[in-house]
Amino acid sequence: MSGRKNEEALKRREFLQLVLGTSAGLLLAPGQAFLRTAGRKETGLKVLVLGMDGLDTVLLDRFLQEGKLPHFQKLAASGTYRPLGSSVPPQSPVAWANFITGTNPGGHGIFDFVHRDPRTYLPVFSASESLPARHNLRLGKLNIPLSGGEIRNLRRGRAFWQILEDYDIPATVFKIPSNYPPVETRQRTFSGMGTPDLKGYYGLFNYYTNEYKTVTEEYGGGGRVHDVYVIGNRVEARIPGPNNPFQRGNPETFVDFKVFIDPVNPVAKIAYQDQEFILREKEWSGWKKIRFDFIPTQGVSGICMFYLKEVRPKFKLYVSPINIDPSDPALPLSTPESYSRELARKFGPFFTKGLPADTAALENDVLDEKEFLAQDEIVYQESMAMLEEELRNFRSGLLFYYFSNADQRQHMFFRLIDRNHPAYNEKLAAEFGQVIEQTYRQMDRALQLAMEKVDRNTVIVVMSDHGFCPFRRGFNLNTWLLRNGYHMLRPGTRPEEVSLFQATDWSRTRAYGVGLNALYLNLKGREAQGLVRPEEKEPLLRELAHKLEQVTDPLTGEKVILKAYLTSEVYSGAYLPEAPDIILGFNRNYRISWNSPLGSFPRELIEDNPQKWSGDHMTAPDLIPGVLLASRPARLEQPALEDVTAGILTLFGVKIPPEITGRPLF
């Protein structure tokens, strides 16, 4: 039975079922008819782009000055080292979409991790959309989908590798965020951040224990606790899988497994399906295949890792989110489809979930810091092995290669380098205070590998999408809107008990916040129960922006929001009408609170962030630029993400299409 931190989690689960329940049907989506890989032109020049998510200029500067990053130093000395202007807001899906399309969010339609459906005011994932089969044949309890489901990549605008394809320039793009499902192309691409696990979540772990434990099943991820009993040194439990599209009501599938514990030794054998393996206490299993059957002839396969955390006195077993099996992908992972299988043949199973490190398990104390790092080290080693292989095969055109480690570890370990963080812990800081520095050193080793493997005709670019800063305090936007009369609840409602705007009186509400940086007006003609007339929009937005920029934290006296961006002023492009009305650019140390993004109204306006997720990047982009290093001198003094796109196209002699707003970097 799953435990929960509070009542809200229940509602969230219901919401998740609504949003994600369709994912299982998508598993039957017909394969994309990709043709052979294209772009076979031998280019004299090659371009290697290492995308290192979250690499921060302040930290990079410091480590460079301390001489800890010799290969970054070498690259900086040979060409360019600049801060790289991030997106508004500087969230990864938005920022990488800027880079992919060479334009701003108005041109690609990704404004936040989470958007809202103006018909229901409910949050929806911004990156992709899952649609179940349109026609089904029902026979008793059996449901036979007569067509495949559909998964849509909601990022619009052409990707730069599609433009290169027009010129027959080959490109391999490995795990770039904001590309799930991978857009149709004959280039070799593998999807990155945004790729779900087999259940359709952004990562849902399972934790089996006979100890009382609660975890949060969060929006799109988190974990589940399964109460188990150790009887006769044996544990029997089940691993939940995707929902079954072949049964009425789409019930969850599962795989039974048994754990046999030695009566004395801290060791156990785990058995399910045709798998049998032994784990010692505190040991990871490596990848294990698992198959979920829908009906005798139909099923999907995934991969997961087991971690035997403790055998006695309490039994604790962690099972990672079930990743899509790259050797037999149930959902589209790559272009061409065979690329995924080719990688699986060479390397065996590997992480396919968009953000592989299980931050939710660390956040919920299911994994401790050491265990989390052990898992993320597997991610790093896999990435390095695959980078080496891609570099070996890199003969022409462009290679983009992505690392998630710096981003994920900074999110979780910033509290241990920031003494003023509410979650700072001296003992942990002594043990893990060097993690971020070590991660930057690992990124330096990745660069070293690249520098050693490429030839003189290769331009090396290292870039990050944004920097990082501490997340000490959280701002409850919806509480602020409520207190200032912009948002109204039905009479008799206790605001702190509301989630997903369930008690909002839309007939009197003028503004609401959904997502991590976004504020929307309840606009007539756009929202289902719109109130604000178009002529009232502009003055109301200016009023809101002005007031929000005046909010100060009574605890520190600091401004909470450095800049409230009116999207009509900072975005341009065809998708501007879909954008939020205001993007909040928080001050350093601040961010939206944990509960506000999903339509909640916590009691406190600004509250401490006591969680392990302690570093973030939702401030005004000027505060946390990304980094740009290149083996060529850059023409621009203050480049932005879109300029790198234009720069790459220019290097290959490609004419920059008009929809790209970036300026040539080189």
Partner 1 sequence: MVWWLNRAVGSLFNLIFLPFSSLNPWGAMLAISLLTALLMLFIYKKTSNQEGIRRVKNRIKANLLEIRLYQTDLRTQLGSQKELLAANLQYLLYNLKPLLVMIVPIFLILAQLNLWFASRPPAPGETFLLKARFIKTMDLERLRLDLETPEGLVAETPPVRIIDEAEVAWRLKVTGPVREPLVIQVNGERYQKIVPAGKGRLLRVSTVRVKRNLWQELLYPGERPLPADSLLKQIELRFEPQRLKLLGIGFHWLVAYFLLSIILGLALKGLFKVEI
Element (H, E) at 627: strand 626-630
- CA 466 to CA 53: how far, in whole Å? 7
Q: How far is the CB of 280 from partner 1 (least distance, A)?
A: 5
136 vs 327, which CB is nearer to partner 1?
A: 327
**By CB under 8 A, is residue 44 in contact with partner 1?**
no
| Stretch binding partner 1 (CB under 8 A), from 79-87, 255-263, 510-518, 548-556 | 255-263
Q: How far is the CB of 182 from partner 1 (least distance, A)?
A: 22
How far is 173 from 165, CA to CA, in rounded Å? 12
Least distance (Å) from partner 1 to the CB of residue 281?
A: 10
Q: Should residue 574 be labelled a site residue for partner 1 when binding is judged by CB under 8 A?
A: no
Q: Would you say 120 or 265 has its CB closer to partner 1?
A: 265
Q: How far apart are CA 436 and CA 409, in angstroms?
A: 7
For residue 60, give Cα distances in angstroms to 81, 217, 407. Answer: 11, 35, 13
Q: What angle do CA 479, 362, 9 make, to 5 degrees?
A: 40
Q: Kindly tell me which of 278 and 654 has the beta carbon lying closer to partner 1.
A: 278
Q: Which stretch binds partner 1 (CB under 8 A): 118-126, 277-285, 609-617, 639-647?
A: 277-285
Among 134, 152, 280, 445, binds partner 1 (CB under 8 A): 280
Taking the CB of residue 352, how many other CB atoms lie within 10 A of it? 27
Smallest separation, CB 290 to partner 1 (Å): 16
110: Cα separation from own chain's centroid: 13
Q: How far apart are CA 97 and CA 102, in angstroms?
A: 8
Residue number with CB closer to partner 1 (50 or 279): 279
In the bound complex, what is the minimum distance in angstroms from residue 395's beta carbon to partner 1? 23
Stretch that binds partner 1, among 145-153, 206-214, 257-265, 469-477 (CB under 8 A): 257-265
Q: Is 31 near partner 1 (CB under 8 A)? A: no
Alpha-carbon distance 104 to 615, whole Å? 25
Task: Report if residue 267 touches partner 1, rule: CB under 8 A.
Answer: yes
For position 278 contacting partner 1 by CB under 8 A, the verdict is yes
233 lines the binding site for partner 1 (CB under 8 A):
yes
Q: Is 232 in the site for partner 1 (CB under 8 A)?
A: yes
Helices (H), 27-119: 57-65, 70-78, 92-101, 105-108
| Residue 266 CA neighbour count, 13 Å, CB half | 14
> 311 or 514, CB closer to partner 1?
311
Distances (CA, A) of 449 to 67, 400, 478, 549, 627: 18, 14, 47, 45, 19
Q: Which helix (H) or strand (E) holds 447?
A: helix 435-453
SS3 321: coil
Q: Does 260 bind partner 1 (CB under 8 A)?
A: yes
Which residues lie below 8 Å from residue 162, measured CB to CB, with a gap of 6+? Answer: 183, 185, 187
Tell me if 261 contacts partner 1 by CB under 8 A.
Answer: yes
Residues 419 and 393: their CA atoms lie apart, in Å, by: 45
Binding of partner 1 by 236 (CB under 8 A): no
Q: Is 262 in the site for partner 1 (CB under 8 A)?
A: yes
Q: Cβ closer to partner 1: 265 or 638?
A: 265
What 3-state DSSP class applies to 200?
A: coil
Residue 265 makes contact with partner 1 by CB under 8 A: yes
Question: Which residue from 5, 119, 134, 269 is in contact with partner 1, where contact means CB under 8 A?
Answer: 269
Give the residue, chosen from 277, 370, 534, 550, that forms a contact with partner 1 under the rule CB under 8 A: 277
Q: How many residues does the chain have?
A: 666
The least distance separating partner 1 from the CB of residue 352, rounded to whole angstroms, comes to: 21
Give the Å distances, CA to CA, from 171 to 47, 174, 400, 629.
9, 10, 8, 20
Shorter beta-carbon distance to partner 1: residue 348 or 485 = 348
Rounded to the nearest whole angstrom, what is the least distance from the CB of residue 378 to partner 1 in the complex? 16
d(CA 300, CA 27): 7
Stretches 7-15, 87-95, 226-234, 587-595: which one binds partner 1 (CB under 8 A)?
226-234
Size of the site for partner 1 (CB under 8 A): 17
Report the interface residues with partner 1, using CB under 8 A: 232-234, 260-265, 267-269, 276-280
